[in-house]
């Protein structure tokens, strides 16, 4: 504790109200108002520490431009570490490759009991997947499975479209995750990423130099960003998976070309599938998910254990569809709907 000769004349201890003789050194370092940092003695300071330290967290969040959201003062908002297994109030030290930084994440959202859940939902550990025969071959789905896949993919598309309508400068990626979570639950489905190998959120939001698996957090999207939203829903025993990359406000020409080129990569890959009848069998389903970097192909992993970023800090974009092999080609199960938001200018040409 730091002493200050003039404190006793002007301030009272925030715990007991007696004349203050000491001031919290962390508050001084953060240049916080003296009124909330004054204590009469070490005993009062130690007794107040469990509640007083929240003032420091609030100040750190405020310095990151997040003071307008009062929920962020709650210590449930912390930085993610160890693939979702742990949290910390401090931003990890790391050799960041670009300008983006992680922000605190909110507490894990809950899926209500009536929703059918995959086997990792409760403890974060997939049980069937690691030893499944499907690790070694692509099954031919029955007509019933195919109809369930169509339904799951339709729900996934509608959820992603709901997220797309949210995107604008000033919206946090956590708010996007909230919309994804609520829309998925409202449809009677479960957000597949939630607690998969301890992943802490209901979708992935990959901004600028993030290639994939970005964790939704308290950072506000900024004018000129690009952001990929990756949605997977679990419904009636099957998953529907898709993602798209969106423009945030006024985006530079290089980023526009990157996003459009990535979209065209996916479209060309799908067209190849339509011409490659016989290489796969009707009834099989799979995804195509190109991730295209503006610079080099190498990546680095953030301390959270999920967020993969470009090694040179340049931007990356991706798109994904779930496909069904038919007798004549492929059916895009996650195709855009007539109601999908008009967000890609090249589709209007």
Which residue is associated with the tokens 């925030």?
14
Q: Which tokens in the block code for residue 140?
A: 């031919």
User: Where in the chain does DSSP place strands (E)?
Assistant: 2-3, 22-23, 38-39, 79-81, 86-88, 190-191, 204-207, 210-212, 226-235, 238-247, 285-288, 291-293, 299-301, 308-310, 316-318, 321-325, 330-332
3-state secondary structure of 338: coil
pLDDT > 60? residue 192: yes
For the chain, first and last CA: distance in Å? 67
Q: Which pair of structure tokens corresponds to residue 233?
A: 């829903």
pLDDT at position 326, please? 93
- What is the C-alpha to C-alpha distance for residues 199 and 327, in angstroms, rounded to an integer? 37
Q: What is the mean pLDDT of the chain?
A: 90
Judge whether residue 288 has pLDDT over 60: yes
Question: What's the pLDDT at 105?
Answer: 97
Q: Rounded to whole angstroms, how far apart are CA atoms 287 and 324? A: 9
pLDDT at residue 13, as a whole number: 85
Instruction: Give the global pTM.
Output: 0.79
Top pLDDT among 255 and 3 is at 255
| pLDDT, tens digit, 9 for 90 and up, residues 155-177 | 999 999 999 999 999 999 999 99
Predicted pLDDT of residue 32: 84
What pLDDT score does 34 carry?
Answer: 84
pLDDT tens for residues 25-77? 888 888 888 888 888 888 888 877 766 876 776 666 555 444 443 445 455 79
> Taking the alpha carbons of 94, 100, 103, 105 in that order, is the dihedral positive or negative?
negative
pLDDT over 70 for what percent of the chain?
90
What's the whole-number mean pLDDT along residues 216-233? 98
Query: Looking at the chain, how many residues does it have?
Result: 349
| Tens digits of residue pLDDT in 226-245 | 999 999 999 999 999 999 99
Quote the tokens at residue 234: 């679990």
Percent above pLDDT 90 for the chain: 72
DSSP character string of 131-194: G-GGGTS-----HHHHHHHHHHHHHHHHHHHHHHTT-STT-BHHHHHHHHHHHHHHTT-EETTT
- Residue 73 has a pLDDT of 40
Cβ neighbours of residue 273 closer than 8 Å, sequence gap 6 or more:
280, 288, 323, 325, 329, 330
């Amino acid at each position: 504790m730091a002493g200050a000769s003039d404190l006793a004349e002007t301030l009272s201890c925030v715990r007991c109200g007696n004349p203050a003789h000491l001031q919290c050194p962390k508050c001084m370092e953060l240049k916080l108002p003296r009124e909330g940092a004054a204590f009469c003695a070490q005993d009062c300071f130690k007794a107040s520490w469990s509640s007083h330290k929240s003032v420091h967290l609030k100040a750190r969040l405020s310095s990151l431009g997040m003071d307008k959201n009062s929920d962020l003062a709650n210590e449930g908002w912390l930085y993610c570490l160890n693939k979702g297994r742990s949290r910390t109030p401090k931003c990890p030290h790391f050799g960041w490759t670009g300008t983006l930084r992680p922000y605190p994440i909110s507490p894990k959202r809950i899926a209500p009991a009536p929703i059918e859940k995959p086997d990792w939902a409760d403890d974060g550990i997939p049980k069937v997947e690691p030893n499944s025969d499907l690790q070694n071959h692509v099954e031919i789905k029955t007509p019933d499975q195919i109809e369930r896949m169509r339904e799951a993919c339709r729900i996934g598309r509608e959820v992603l479209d709901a997220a797309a309508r949210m995107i604008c400068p000033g919206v946090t990626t956590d708010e996007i995750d909230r919309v994804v979570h609520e829309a998925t639950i409202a449809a009677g489905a479960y957000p597949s990423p939630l607690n998969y190998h301890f992943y802490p959120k209901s979708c992935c939001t990959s901004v600028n130099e993030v290639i994939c698996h970005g964790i939704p957090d308290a950072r506000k999207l900024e004018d000129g960003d690009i952001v990929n939203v990756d949605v997977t829903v679990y419904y009636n025993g099957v998953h529907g998976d898709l993602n798209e990359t969106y423009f945030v406000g006024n985006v530079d020409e290089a980023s526009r070309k990157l996003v459009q080129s990535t979209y065209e990569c996916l479209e060309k890959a799908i067209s190849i599938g339509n011409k490659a009848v016989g290489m796969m069998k009707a009834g099989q389903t799979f995804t195509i998910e190109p991730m295209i970097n503006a610079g080099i192909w190498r990546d680095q992993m953030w301390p959270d254990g999920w967020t993969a970023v470009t090694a040179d800090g340049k931007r990356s974009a991706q798109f994904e569809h779930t496909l069904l092999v038919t007798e004549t080609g492929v059916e895009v199960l996650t195709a855009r709907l007539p109601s999908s938001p008009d967000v890609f200018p090249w589709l209007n040409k």
